[in-house]
Structure 1
């Protein structure tokens, strides 16, 4: 996503087929060298250990930096923003990239896509006939959208930042590429960023023009649930069921209902009529993302079993095993998409346009089939945590795509 730093173009990557001998004798391990980034001042490489090595049967990747330190990480992360090496960068470039990694970009993107989609659905619900075509209406919609988007992104930074501050020791095992775990950002600085984001989110959510009661409630509930999830002594993430409830409440109910209602109120809908504007589409979206929240809550813990077990976090993956939890998630997702494909064609959810209803149904079938196919790869690489993490990111991709499909049904 970032093609050049400091005006330097990256050198071409060597072919993946090249091999390097990393040892000798009976313990010889062959490793494929994959360059992350070549810079004039410093080089960083990633060694992907082959499955032939008995010492590394999980086929995890090992990142070797210029100091010779090794960190375990899923191999796909070498191409992601969160694993970009920042050593040697000028401070002016390093600071925003560290902040970007600290904010967990995939969660930021998920929140942004969902808010845009939900407010658009609210706008389409309010607008009718020539009103929908007026420039003034859509300019007001953009203002309502930005009033929701800015404080929500700050609240997202607070929630993920607070979790990293209190999970540093766990992340050094599970996610050593994160800024606090890797030492790119101090714990004190991370805590300061999180608290500042919280204060700014609430201040903007209450002070901006066109703010609504629905937006304020969504921000407050998100802050309370996010705090209870990570902050001792409550720290609900210690309890598997309560941790899952936190995720599904925010991703399923608070975001979907809160931002849809914010759009209705911000676009001059009467508060007394808001309840009547909750169309079958938004009820479907809420139910769908409640289940999706369950899947995300379960899936995110599967690659983290090693660190969770070491720190006595009794996640479902620790209690019941990664394999059972993974296939439960796959079965749930496939069932959700099959049910959604059928629902798009029923009178309850079908739009006035048969083409849009059919497109929505085919989109759900396609996403379900794609996830099922991707799960087969995980089965073929059983025991490889990086394959599970890749699938988890595929689930997030479908999360984004679902919010692009929903406006078709309005």
Structure 2
């Protein structure tokens, strides 16, 4: 929760003085400010603010006019601080006072925004869903399976947080334009705090990958880690986000191939102890989510055109325009849903056929309706649609179990 303050009548009167009167002598300034303070205190009898405090600061400021410039500057800062204190006292949000609970909520909210937890939730849902694909019967749902699934969920969620964090560390100046609400861009986190969080999660994901002794899982974590680092870090041969094709490759490699293949073979070989087999549902999952990830990679840059142009990031939206990229993204997803419905209709199991066809047609209808309501000139509208795409992305993890 971010505390906000609105200008009081006091500050508006000060603004009126500065706009209307121009430069004033110290005596004139003192007289006019005292009049403003007296009037303001009459209107705000219960504000809890001491008018004498500001008056004393004004008199001190006025009497210092014959001192050095440095002294006058310091006293002006004291006066400004006193006025600011008055502003904050007059305008608490909804009469609430700071509490340990509200402070804890603000910290959680900042961490939520820093880690981009909607992406982390998508990873957790994806890993959990793909873990179920190798199962052939209810008897496979053993304690060993759940432990093996957790071994995949935890480090891949950690590497996701690392990737989101390192991107913000490198792009803090761009985010001040495109995403000023992020903790680093807004100043809620210092560079030291953000670096500590990124380093901790980066170390933990690699350490857990080694500890769990599953080669497919460790390779998946390593590939995800590398792609996320190459996407963001500003070193020779890296900073792949500046190339739209390499940027899309990073997203496809992480969400399309890495999670699907590494988790599936981790469960099949090192948890269930079965020979490695490439199934129809796994093949569909790799192709569908790779295409969807490519769309997300292009779509996420649509509202960031201003910042990307200023810093020379040649995204698809910068090169070809918002309208063309938006149309391409929606078209690709509609093709993906249509293909999924056709593949589902070819299933020999009636339940799978009904669920896959009806499910994909329903999601395609939701997408079409939402796309028609998007205003590309409103970044909030585009960002809202982007978050809706993530919901569709996560919903597909349910339907892949009917693609047999």
Corresponding position of 1:242: 246
What are the Cα deviations for residues 211-237 of structure 1, in whole angstroms up to 9, with x where unaligned?
411100000001111111001112111
Corresponding position of 2:288: 288
The answer to whether the aligner puts 1:144 opposite 2:156 as a matched pair is no
Q: Shift in Å at residue 153 of structure 1?
A: 1.0
Corresponding position of 1:395: 389
TM-score (norm 2): 0.73
2: CA distance, partners of 1:266 / 1:98:
38
> Please, which runs of 5 or more residues in structure 2 have no aligned partner?
2-85, 89-96
2: CA distance, partners of 1:325 / 1:163:
23
Q: Secondary structure at the match of 2:373?
A: helix
* Among candidates 138, 142, 155, match of residue 133 of structure 1: 138
2: CA distance, partners of 1:303 / 1:89:
36
* Among candidates 217, 225, 232, match of residue 230 of structure 1: 232
Q: Shift in Å at residue 239 of structure 1?
A: 0.9
Q: Is the 8 A contact 2:127 2:263 kept in 1?
A: yes
Structure of higher CA gyration radius: 2
TM-score (norm 1): 0.72
1: CA distance, partners of 2:188 / 2:123:
25
The answer to whether the aligner puts 1:298 opposite 2:298 as a matched pair is yes
Q: Shift in Å at residue 246 of structure 1?
A: 0.9
2: CA distance, partners of 1:305 / 1:395:
19
2: CA distance, partners of 1:287 / 1:93:
40
Question: Greater helix share, 1 or 2?
Answer: 2
Q: Is the 8 A contact 1:212 1:265 kept in 2?
A: no
Q: Shift in Å at residue 93 of structure 1?
A: 4.1
Q: Shift in Å at residue 189 of structure 1?
A: 1.0
Change (3 A) 1:188 1:265: same
2: CA distance, partners of 1:294 / 1:188:
33
Corresponding position of 1:359: 355
1: CA distance, partners of 2:159 / 2:402:
28
Q: Is the 8 A contact 1:363 1:405 kept in 2?
A: yes
User: Matched residue pairs, number?
Assistant: 309
2: CA distance, partners of 1:93 / 1:397:
25
The answer to whether the aligner puts 1:345 opposite 2:348 as a matched pair is no
Q: Where does 1:299-378 land on structure 2 (aligned, <5 Å)? A: 299-346=299-346, 350=347, 352-378=348-374
1: CA distance, partners of 2:390 / 2:228:
19
**After TM superposition, what 4+ stretches of structure 1 lie above 4 angstroms from structure 2?**
none
Q: Is the 8 A contact 1:334 1:369 kept in 2?
A: no
Flag the structure with more relative contact order, 1 or 2, with Cα contacts below 8 A and sequence separation at least 6.
1
2: CA distance, partners of 1:149 / 1:67:
48
Q: Is the 8 A contact 1:154 1:201 kept in 2?
A: yes
Q: Is the 8 A contact 2:330 2:371 kept in 1?
A: yes
2: CA distance, partners of 1:382 / 1:313:
20
> Please, which runs of 5 or more residues in structure 1 have no aligned partner?
6-65, 69-86
1: CA distance, partners of 2:111 / 2:234:
24
Over aligned residue pairs, what C-alpha RMSD do you find?
2.1
The answer to whether the aligner puts 1:100 opposite 2:107 as a matched pair is no
Q: Shift in Å at residue 92 of structure 1?
A: 4.1
* Among candidates 185, 192, 207, match of residue 203 of structure 1: 207
